[in-house]
Structure 1
Amino acid sequence: MKFPIGTAIRLTLVMLVILVVIYPLVVAGFARLAPGSGKGETVTVNRKVVGYRLIGQKFTEDRYFNSRPSAVGYNAAGSAGSNKGPSNPDYLKTVQARIDTFLVHNPEVKKADIPAELVTASGSGLDPHLSPPAAKIQVPRIARIRGISAERLNQLIDDHTEGPLVGLLGPATVNVLSLNRALDALN
């Protein structure tokens, strides 16, 4: 009986070269063609980087639209969810604390009307988007603080709403950083 050990070793070496050398180089080459040359799309204001388009960041001032909470403190180096399920007492306390904080800053909103994404972290902890309803529920607070009409803020949200991919895949979203930059430009 013949054992094909030589063939197995050669195949292993060929696959090692393909998967460890060639494939990463091809992916890096394609990344160079993407916006930001594979380093992420930076958002700049007055030639100063203020964030990345596809990485969520925290907005705590009441004059801005709040982002989705992050389980990792918006640290892109440690992207992860919390791994706590909906019956975990610690998780429930965290969500309740987020609800309470949201209601303090948005007294005109009823608890039942708060979109879940405003009090629960995304799977990556870095989601830069909200749904249009999650952005619009914050309009009364921002209108009151900034002295901008609710109609104008709703129009701003509509102008920054990105439709589903190819018109079919996924929900409509609003990039919070882009929306807050446009909000600052209004003043």
Structure 2
Amino acid sequence: MLQHIRPAVVLLVLFTLLTGLVYPLAVTGIAEIAFPRQANGSLIEKDGVVVGSALIGQNFTSDRYFHPRPSATTDTDPNDSTKTIDAPYNAAGSAASNLGPTSQKLVDRVKAGVADWRAKFGAGPVPADAVTTSASGLDPDISPANAFAQVPSVAKARGLDEARVRALVEASVARPALGWIGESRVNVLQLNLALDRIKSS
């Protein structure tokens, strides 16, 4: 019996050390050397203070800032722990709504989003990402079309020339990697920080 148990225990200890200690430390070490910024959360600082991450969206609601796409994340209802409440961009509860195209709740939410968008930013085509949520609920980026559509409203709220704000958006567009991987996008937090710098300059 012992001759069967000993190899099993040795293998258990060996693979525990290998996969639970050596491998994670090796991967972490390589990431710290090759991609230090990404390995530490792609943090963004303003005046030496961390204000967010380039990888996690934030809920901007002021007319003076560009708005992110909607978020379907939730949190526990403080009044009833068996229920949840909407909590946009709750990083502790990353998730999609899982509502399908036949869901009346989804249809109603998108219709309300379109009406809200047009009330804030005027008539015309509404970018899809302005009224739909991402799979994570924490998407930090919006489409260039979404950002450009918000330019007049943001410029008016800040008393800035539209052309100047539009140029800022254009400079903030991240193109697809290698010219074809992914889609063009605008990081909302970085754009809004750049917007604040215009005010102070």
What's the TM-score bracket when you normalise by the shorter of the two chains? 0.7 to 0.9
**Counterpart position of 2:42:** 41
Is the Cα–Cα contact under 8 Å of residues 109 and 137 in structure 1 kept in the other structure? Answer: no
Shift of 1:37: 6.6
Q: Deviations over 1:70-125 (max 9, x none)?
A: 1112122221111111210111122222222222211x232xx1111011110111
Shift of 1:167: 2.1
Quick one: distance in 1 between partners of 2:40 and 2:90? Answer: 16
- Return the letter of the residue paired with 1:138: Q
Give the TM-score, by structure 2 length: 0.79
**Counterpart position of 1:74:** 89
Quick one: distance in 1 between partners of 2:117 and 2:138? Answer: 19
Quick one: distance in 2 between partners of 1:124 and 1:22? Answer: 30
The root-mean-square deviation of aligned C-alpha atoms, in Å, is: 2.3
**Counterpart position of 1:88:** 103
- Return the letter of the residue paired with 2:185: T
Q: Deviations over 1:98-155 (max 9, x none)?
A: 222222211x232xx1111011110111110111111001111112222222211111
Shift of 1:158: 1.0
**Counterpart position of 2:19:** 19
Q: Kindly report structure 1 stretches of 4+ aligned residues shifted beyond 4 Å.
A: 8-12, 14-17
- Return the letter of the residue paired with 1:46: D
Quick one: distance in 1 between partners of 2:10 and 2:180? Answer: 42
**Counterpart position of 2:51:** 50
**Counterpart position of 2:173:** 161
Cα pair distance change 1:35/1:94, threshold 3 Å:
farther
Task: Select the residue among 159, 181, 186 that pairs with 1:174.
Answer: 186
Quick one: distance in 2 between partners of 1:127 and 1:116? Answer: 14
**Counterpart position of 1:109:** 123
Could you tell me which runs of 5 or more consecutive residues in structure 2 were left unpaired when the two chains were aligned.
Answer: 74-87
Shift of 1:10: 8.2
Give identity over the alignment, percent: 40
Could you tell me which runs of 5 or more consecutive residues in structure 1 were left unpaired when the two chains were aligned.
Answer: none
